[in-house]
């Protein structure tokens, strides 16, 4: 439809969407039955947030963890389940302050009751891989693929270290495999840095190592997102280098690396990340010694 030639405006579209109120469950069931007559064997589940410049919809608009880094705006959370090709199966609007870990069990119940999904592999982010969630998935006889946090991984083996471990991915039939990343550290790692990398840098004898980032425009990078559990950090698009950065290395890890290679850290301040953020970075760096 071309709005330039059609006799409708934005309000007409919103009015048409209002007609879906009270009918969405039935429509989802019908769409699933028509679109997936053989059912689905793999379900991808993830969350995103949408913020508002105004107050947002009453009852569900809340301040919470913003994927857009707009913690100063109220938001809602969109929960989306899709098949292996990314075709949506189910969409749900949640309160903006809803914790990621509290959404998975509700999704499992909805998909089983609404679509009759009894056997499938569920793929979800590490932020939802709490013990209670994994136990709930297993109790339903379902399989899952997720990323475990450092605390959970330490429960395997002796102090988190195992000999003779084999990591493999097997695919049978016409299935789709989505691979993220796997990081395996040697037993003799130094504060999560490979010893061969440390020695290679030390051989160069650098006096100063610069913490990257444009002074004028840091883009989507925010140093505070590099604090805390690595598995809970939000990746960001690095438009300068054309990639997605995981935020695995934060300011503290960078300073530890500089100490290991016997170099002085040079941390840049970005003018685009607000003066208070720069002041907080200085204070945080000083606290690291």
Instruction: List, for residues 146-156, the tens digit of each pLDDT value.
Output: 876 655 555 55
Torsion of CA 233, 234, 239, 243, to 10 degrees: 70
The structural domains of the chain, with segments of one domain joined by +, span: 10-153, 195-287
State the Cα–Cα distance between residues 113 and 116, nearest whole angstrom. Answer: 5
Who has greater pLDDT, 208 or 212?
A: 208
Q: What is the pLDDT confidence band of residue 157, given thresholds at 50, 70 and 90? A: very low
Residue 155 CB burial class (10 angstroms; 0-12, 13-18, ≥19): exposed
Lowest-confidence segment of 121-125, 133-137, 204-208, 234-238 by average pLDDT: 234-238
pLDDT at 165 over 60: no
**Mean pLDDT, residues 111-123 taken together:** 88
pLDDT in tens, 57-99: 888 999 888 888 888 889 999 999 999 888 999 999 999 988 8
**What stretch of H or E contains 91?**
strand 88-95
* Mean pLDDT estimate for the chain: 81
Class of domain 10-153 as given by CATH: alpha beta
Predicted pLDDT of residue 286: 75
Predicted pLDDT of residue 58: 87
Distances (CA, A) of 194 to 129, 135, 188, 200, 288: 27, 34, 8, 10, 22
pTM of the model: 0.52
pLDDT at 259 over 90: yes
**Mean pLDDT, residues 224-230 taken together:** 81
pLDDT in tens, 166-208: 566 666 666 666 666 666 777 788 888 889 999 999 999 999 9
Predicted pLDDT of residue 77: 93
Pairing assessment for the beta strands 208-211 and 42-51 based on DSSP bridges: unpaired
Predicted pLDDT of residue 261: 94
Q: What is the pLDDT confidence band of residue 215, given thresholds at 50, 70 and 90? A: low
CA within 13 Å, CB half, 57: 10
């Amino acid at each position: 439809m071309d709005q330039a030639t059609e006799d409708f405006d934005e309000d007409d579209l919103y009015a048409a969407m209002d007609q879906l109120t009270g009918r969405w469950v039935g429509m989802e069931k019908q769409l699933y039955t028509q679109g997936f007559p053989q059912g689905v064997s793999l379900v991808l589940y993830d969350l995103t947030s949408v913020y508002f410049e105004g107050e947002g919809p009453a009852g569900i608009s809340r301040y919470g963890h913003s994927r857009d880094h707009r913690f100063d705006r109220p938001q809602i959370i969109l929960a989306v389940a899709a098949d292996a090709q990314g075709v949506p199966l189910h969409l749900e609007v949640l309160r903006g302050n809803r914790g990621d870990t509290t959404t998975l069990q509700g999704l499992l119940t909805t998909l089983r009751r609404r679509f009759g999904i009894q056997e499938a592999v569920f793929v979800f982010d590490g932020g939802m891989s709490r013990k209670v969630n994994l136990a709930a998935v297993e109790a339903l006889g379902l399989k899952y693929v997720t990323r475990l946090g450092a605390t959970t991984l330490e429960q395997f083996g002796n102090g988190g270290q195992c000999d003779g471990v084999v990591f493999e991915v097997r695919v049978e039939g016409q299935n789709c495999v989505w691979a993220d990343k796997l990081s395996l550290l040697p037993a003799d790692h130094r504060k999560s840095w490979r010893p061969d990398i440390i020695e290679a840098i030390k051989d160069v004898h650098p006096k100063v190592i610069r913490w990257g980032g444009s002074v004028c425009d840091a883009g989507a990078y925010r140093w505070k997102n590099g604090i805390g559990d690595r598995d809970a950090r939000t990746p960001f698009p690095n438009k300068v280098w054309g990639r997605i950065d995981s935020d695995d290395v934060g300011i503290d890890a960078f300073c530890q690396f500089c100490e290991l290679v016997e170099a002085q850290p040079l941390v840049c301040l970005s003018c685009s990340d607000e003066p208070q953020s720069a002041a907080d970075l200085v204070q945080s760096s000083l606290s690291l010694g």
